[in-house]
Amino acid sequence: MLRKAVVGDIAALKLVRSSVVENILSDPSKVTDDDYEWFVTNPGVAIWEEKGIIVGFSAADPRQGNIWALFVTLGFEGKGIGSRLLAEACSCLQSAGVERAWLTTDPSTRAERFYRAAGWEHVGEKDNELLFELSLSADQRVESSSRSW
Ligand SMILES: CC(C)(COP(=O)(O)OP(=O)(O)OC[C@H]1O[C@@H](n2cnc3c(N)ncnc32)[C@H](O)[C@@H]1OP(=O)(O)O)[C@@H](O)C(=O)NCCC(=O)NCCS
């Protein structure tokens, strides 16, 4: 089930973030509780729940035009959850008027293959990660869920 995160979900979001085995934070102190709180209370964080447990989330940053987070707990991958959450984040950026979204990811990861398959274009490198971009022009309305939040 897709829903919008609330502040009380932040601890669970951090658990999902720390459960992944790729795109691990080299310095966990770089992502603070304030960051989570900003995303939860501003553009919104999309959450995927299975039987009441949060197993994935995404967050877009309309200030920078990028995907800030996309994480699915190990064991729940390959079921379409990441694609749904990515669509929500892209929809958020598109609604904010972002025409070209960007994100970075570690090379040779499942995420790299995932973004390529989703049509993202590898345009270079940023901070030792791969830089991807995707056009979000108005005539290419991003397919998002029938958002109930
Ligand atoms: C990258 C990541 C977000 C992808 O999430 P996901 O839920 O596995 O993604 P999806 O299930 O939507 O798509 C992945 C694959 O499942 C397939 N799939 C999609 N829906 C499916 C379904 N209903 N049933 C079976 N397979 C499905 C997709 O076609 C895709 O196949 P492919 O791997 O052969 O290309 C996830 O692997 C992850 O969190 N990785 C670790 C953290 C990370 O690197 N995050 C990115 C930070 S930049």
Residue 147 inside a domain? The answer is: no
For 105-131, the pLDDT digits (tens) are 999 999 999 999 999 999 999 999 999
Residue 107 inside a domain? The answer is: yes
Residue 51 inside a domain? The answer is: yes
pLDDT for the residue numbered 111 = 97
User: What separation in Å is there between the alpha carbon of 87 and the centre of ligand 1?
Assistant: 12
Residue 140 inside a domain? The answer is: no
Q: How many domains does the chain have?
A: 1
pLDDT for the residue numbered 144 = 64
Residue 144 inside a domain? The answer is: no
Question: What DSSP line would sit under the chain, residue for residue?
Answer: -EEE--GGGHHHHHHHHHH-SSS--SSGGGS-HHHHHHHHHTT-EEEEEETTEEEEEEEEETTTTEEEEEEE-TTSTTSSHHHHHHHHHHHHHHHTT-SEEEEEE-TTSHHHHHHHHTT-EEEEEETTEEEEEEE--TTS---------
For 22-40, the pLDDT digits (tens) are 999 888 888 999 999 999 9
Residue 149 inside a domain? The answer is: no
User: What separation in Å is there between the alpha carbon of 55 and the centre of ligand 1?
Assistant: 13
User: What is the pTM (predicted TM-score) of this model?
Assistant: 0.91
Structural domain boundaries enclosing 84: 2-73+80-135
User: Which is the closest atom of ligand 1 to the Cα of 77?
Assistant: 8
The CATH number given to whatever domain includes residue 51 is 3.40.630.30
